[in-house]
Structure 1
Amino acid sequence: MNNYLTKLYNIDAEGNYDEISIHINCWEQIIYNALKNYEIEYEFAFCDQINLYLNKIGTTFEMECISTNIHEDLYKVEVVEIEVDIFETINTLLDSGEILGVATAFNLLPPYIYYDEESIEVHNKHFMTMIGRDEEEYYFVESPLLIAKERNTTYFENPTINVIKKEVLQKAFKVSSSIRRVFINKKQLSEIDKLSDVIGMIIRDYKGEGMLLDSSKDVYVGRKAFQEFIKILKENKLGYTESNFLQSHFPAHICYSRRMLLKKCLEKSKNEKHQISYIKCLGLLDDSINKWSLLKRSILKNIYIKDETRKFGEDFRKNIIKIVEEILIIEDELISCLEQLY
């Protein structure tokens, strides 16, 4: 039986943020939590592409970091069909020692920062990790950044686990509910280090030699995505203010986080053969990470400007152009450096 209640989540024994958890999305966090039953180098399970993918759509564009699912052989995800009472289904799975991904109307759950019972919009594009229960309450794991401490209760034996009453969940489930089971493929744990494959993809896609693009779409990948993004901002024609990349800091955060995870994996796979190039790559990754951090903070700052006449203003546009041009210069050099290593 897996005892998920004794493990630490999102915060380490010293009270610091878990350096992997803060750099992965909600679904990856469920996989990460399931992997805690095994002694492995967890960073490698989430090392993935760092390249941008830009897709022009009508009067605007979408841009995000590419996801390759290179580790899809490591785990299996199964959608749970609710044939009877949802709690009966959840209870059976939790009592058998499983870990679950649960999506619901998070705007109806007081522990969450999304909590707003008056909201017309249902916030259900997220998954929590559910790990246990008793007769009246359910135990779940969540990023501390999404939890409102003043409305939250933690498990008395483990403060990194949150507790929510059944009747509160029931209210949210009536609006929206979805459950996923997660199975770890133990045979693949020894093959978790795919750093060479990941870096190979990064190099090829950055140079436009990798992904097969849909010719029916106006899409750009890697270096070309950077160039097109800069062009869009400089021409100030396409509706960049409506782009997902600038409406939320999350896409930039994922780009930042992928570079952080890549750096951690490079540090774990120290390259003695090409020591000079290895040290140079780590330094360039640091430079890139700092610029991506600045970019996501600039986007976030703009989002919270209350004066709508100042939001997405000329200063913001020029600042984003400047940062992205600096990132492009750094990553040109980074890709060249990675080519010398792999």
Structure 2
Amino acid sequence: MKAQAHRFCIAPMMDWTDRHCRFAHRLLSAQARLYTEMVTVPAVIHGKREQLLGFDPSEHAIALQLGGSDPAGLAEAAKIGEAWGYDEINLNVGCPSDRVQVGSFGACLMAEPELVAACVAAMRAVVRVPVTVKCRIGIDDQDSEADLDRFIDTVAEAGCDTFIVHARKAWLKGLSPKENREVPPLDYGRVARLKARRPELTIVLNGGIGSIDEAEHHLQTFDGVMLGRAAYHTPYILAEVDRRLFGSDRPEISRGDVLRTLIPYIERHVAKGGRPYNVLRHILGLYHGQPRARAFRRLLSEQGPRATAGGDLVRAALALVEGRDLPAAAE
């Protein structure tokens, strides 16, 4: 049986999975593998590294996702990432945005498997942590059978043994990144055929998985699953992960305890010059489906951006959902 390192992953999502989001997700699951937002190679090499790469020790296991297509630059960035303590370096071969295409990386690299293989080989030569690839099943008019097989085989030959596969093509012309998350249809069968053909590889399924029930179903076929928007918008589903997917006897943390744990975290963030809403925006969906969920979300989203001391606002939100001293405006 394969190691469970990638059994359940939370997708890298631009503007969402920053360090504060990941801290909150780690409170909910000790076993989920976390990913940074995509960070470009020039940013890693020349940017403010603490701001871009810093993370709380509790976030392990955590992967740094890199965007780039120059083997030498990626090798340098991967080495920096390893030195910062990341447990995995992941190469983005799936993002379809115009900005990424202008930089000649992301999903457009699906058309250049030899270059991706060279990038993987260059990174593997300078780091000891795993180097993995997140890709699509194809782009534009590629044949999703032959071209995906060629891509995986070529990159695997360079030493990559873990692929996170978003189960739909990316259309690089005429569709926005949002539309590329919905069009064309998902093709889980194509990824299943890849897994059957290359059983020795670790294949993690990504795209459209909306619940832990669905994740359990897909784990009958794949080595791992990766959730994105469902994990972000309804984060409390992550509280089930350790017990249901890893067999852990760790008690599930309550929503209230998540908030109570976030209070000192937010206060430390504010003490360093940060704003409470940097953290609070990531937990707006914590009470999704629960009584007073709408009032909870409204309180944080309306008062959070103006707040300067987040502890008091979190305590008010906690009192609201627990039915204590309801603020008149939130009833």
Q: Same fold (TM over 0.5)?
A: no
Q: Normalising TM by the smaller chain, what interval?
A: 0.3 to 0.5
Question: Which has the bigger relative contact order, CA under 8 A and spacing at least 6?
Answer: 1
TM-score w.r.t. length of structure 1: 0.35
Task: Choose between structure 1 and 2: higher strand proportion.
Answer: 1
